[in-house]
Structure 1
Amino acid sequence: MDTSDLTVDLMDRALTQMGEVIAAIRPEQATLPTPCTDWDVQALVRHVIGQDLRNFLVSVRGEMADWAAPPEELGPDWAAQFRAAAAPVLDTWRSADLDRPVSGPGGREAPLRSRADQQLTELAMHAWDLARATGQDRELDPHIAEHGLAWSHTMLRPEFRGPDKAFGLEVPVPADAPTYERLAGWFGRDPEWKSPGAAG
């Protein structure tokens, strides 16, 4: 399996995993807090479905996504809405030339696969956020988080962290901690975070 096949396979697994996490959320859990302090469960699901997937599809086509545009509204069936939005993303990745150069920040070009790196990282982190927020006892795919952690270590610089910045300060985590805990700490989450009322 070449690197393109590996990237698309990982994307398939990441989207499937997120879909399973969203499908396991119960209606009464919508207002629970999440490790993303600005979002409760419903707001984070709305971000994933109505903003991430919309922009992922634009990005995989080689275009520039507008992340400032607000997310689309959620319907009553979050799992079905996620599946409907995720399918064209995966189909487009499967037919894409991952080595095709596309414009990046500052006008610099990079292979299209670099956009997959960002998407995989986003899916890994938010799958952990939602699973933790809703008390889901599931084993998340460590390979997705390892990929995201390796990529984000090359991209997330200190000037992007802090108050009023896109990311919080890194939370120190032991080097031998589970992968998702290291990913959470790297993105400024507390790996020990637990949502009040998630169980039951």
Structure 2
Amino acid sequence: MTIVSEDTLMLLERAVLQTGRIVSGVESGQTSLPTPCGNWDVGRLLQHVVGQDLHNFTVAARGETPDWAEPPQALGNAWSVDYQERAQRLLSTWREADRDAEVAGPGGRLAPLIDRADQQITELSVHAWDLARATGQGSHLDPEVAAYALAWGQRMLQPAFRGADKAFGPEVSVPDGAPVQDRLAGWFGRDPAWQPPAAR
């Protein structure tokens, strides 16, 4: 167990906690609201984060390969309770894992298992921003977590992954001196100035 591994796990825990606070702040009447995440409304984004991400992240933390084509797990009205249960399962799996074990990474190269947490930190951070902005909870992310997510995203998100039929839209230009959560949002194709239609 290395210091780097411990630092990464700490950042993941903070990302999980941050997203959990935002998920718990989503009200039942807000599920049909639009989000900055493509054509997904709040309900669909919750389904993705709570019903798919957390399960697949846990599979990845075990050293296995998630099936992202598998439909999200069922999600009822108590999405905050579901989130907390699945998030604790994820973190427990990471704490018990051999984080230095070599597993297949991007492109099939071998990498330490803990490297898989980088994508999880990033995914949670970006979707936390989406949900917070869509539901009027502000969009001030933990700056260290956001900076870590941005740095990983800038290394990994290649132009070939962007486009109308791809997972990510074009980068939205953001000044270098803008808050880190704005630069993170822009890098992942969100407009940092996005507001819900009722707030425009």
CA distance in 2 between counterparts of 1:177 and 1:60 reads: 33
Q: How far off is 1:106 after superposition?
A: 3.7
- 1:79 counterpart letter in structure 2: S
Q: Which residue of 1 aligns with 2:114?
A: 113
1: CA distance between counterparts of 2:14 and 2:199?
Answer: 25
* TM superposition shift of 1:120: 0.2
What secondary structure, in the 3-state scheme, does the structure 1 residue paired with 2:111 have? strand
Kindly state the Cα deviation for residue 172 of structure 1 after the two structures are TM-superposed. Answer: 0.4
How far apart in 2 are the matches of 1:153 and 1:191? Answer: 17
Alignment of 1:1-200 (within 5 A): 2-137=3-138, 139-197=140-198
Per the alignment, in what secondary structure is the counterpart of residue 169 of structure 2?
coil
| Structure 2 stretches lacking a partner, 5+ long | none
Identical counterparts, % of pairs? 55
Assess if the C-alpha contact under 8 Å between 1:49 and 1:82 holds in 2: yes
Mapped contact 1:133–1:198 kept (Cα < 8 A): no
Residue 181 to residue 42, structure 1, CA distance change in 2 (3 Å): same
Q: Which amino acid aligns with 1:69?
A: E
Structure 1: state its 5+ residue gaps. none
User: Are the aligned partners of 2:28 and 2:77 in contact in 1 as well (CA < 8 Å)?
Assistant: no
Q: Is the 8 A contact 1:18 1:123 kept in 2?
A: yes
The answer to whether the 8 Å contact 2:36/2:191 transfers is yes
Q: How many pairs align?
A: 199
Q: Deviations over 1:65-122 (max 9, x none)?
A: 0011111121111110100111110011112222211012443211112110000000
Question: Which moved further from structure 2: 137-146 or 86-95?
Answer: 137-146
Deviation at 1:149? Answer: 0.6
Asked whether the 8 Å contact 2:22–2:128 carries over to 1, the reply is: yes
| Contact 2:171–2:190, Cα closer than 8 Å, also in 1 | yes
What's the C-alpha RMSD, in Å, of the aligned pairs? Answer: 1.5
After superposing the two structures, state which structure 1 stretch, 4-13 or 62-71, moved more: 4-13
For the residues of structure 2 that align with 1:40 and 1:166, how far apart are their CA atoms? 16
TM-score, normalising length from structure 2? 0.95
Task: Give the residue type in structure 2 aligned to 1:30.
Answer: T
Moved over 3 A (4+): none
Specify the code of the residue in structure 1 equivalent to 2:130.
D
User: Whole-Å Cα distance in 1 between the matches of residues 119 and 17 of structure 2?
Assistant: 17
SS in 2 for 1:97: coil
